[in-house]
Amino acid sequence: MAEFVRAAALNELEPNQLKGMKLNNRYVAVVKIGEEVFAFEDNCSHAACSISPGEVEDYIAPCYCHGALFDVRTGGVVQGPAGRPLPVFAVKVEGDEVFVEL
């Protein structure tokens, strides 16, 4: 059963900077863009490279291993070589705390 797990405090997230972490034995990348926070699997679907650390521009996160680009809102592939989207996770913010549903 899915549950929300504390990921970080809002002030630990630098704007547009991916923060990688391990939550409940899953590698997750979290990013704050404006007032929104997004979370997705931190494991490129092309070659299992970490997407974090990295910088998001216009909601697009790059994989530095081979150049794949992903939309952090949907996990969708914007540019290959990755062929499959990344799983995304629901996020909720309560006060200054960020929680990810796993």
**Statement: residue 3 has pLDDT above 90:** yes
Q: What backbone torsions phi and psi does residue 35 show, to the nearest 5 degrees?
A: -95, 0
pLDDT per residue over 48-60, tens digit each? 799 998 999 999 9
Q: Report the SS3 class of residue 12.
A: helix
Alpha helix ranges (H) inside the chain: none
Q: The CATH number of the domain where 26 resides is what?
A: 2.102.10.10
Tokens coding 68? 């794949």
Report the pLDDT averaged over residues 13-17. 98
Please name every residue paired with 97 in a beta bridge, in sequence order, or none if there are none: 9, 94
Instruction: Give the residue numbers spanning the domain of 53.
Output: 4-101
**Per the confidence metrics, is the pTM higher than 0.85?**
yes
Counted domains in the chain: 1
